[in-house]
Homo-oligomer: A and B are copies of this chain.
């Protein structure tokens, strides 16, 4: 299964972390093959940090780890979904989820106005 995954030209695959108890989408990170192997083997989430260009054990610094419940791939094998239990806030801002800023129709209209 893991051999058939489609990693992108940087050798990465996007991985969605979801709170398995609440259904909340927590964050999107990127995994290389080694990060995925470690995630599956250890039962805790590993990513590959694109900014630091290194393997990233989620929670290594913050202590807020993500405990794996199940790992899924999508129909065309180019996205991973990890259903999990976070041990604390996932976001570096202290928010439970990284998705706490809403976009609305007004954001498009404001954008358009700026262009005129």
Contacts and interface: CB of A to CB of B under 8 A. Distances in A.
Interface of A: 1-3, 14, 16, 18, 22-25, 27-28, 36-37, 40-41, 70-76, 79-81, 91-93, 95, 98-105, 107-108, 110-111, 114
Contacts of A104: 40, 71
Nearest to A114: B3
Contact of A72 (B79, B91, B92, B102): B102
Contacts of A14: 14, 28
A24 B116 CA distance: 40
A70 B72 CA distance: 25
Contacts of A91: 75
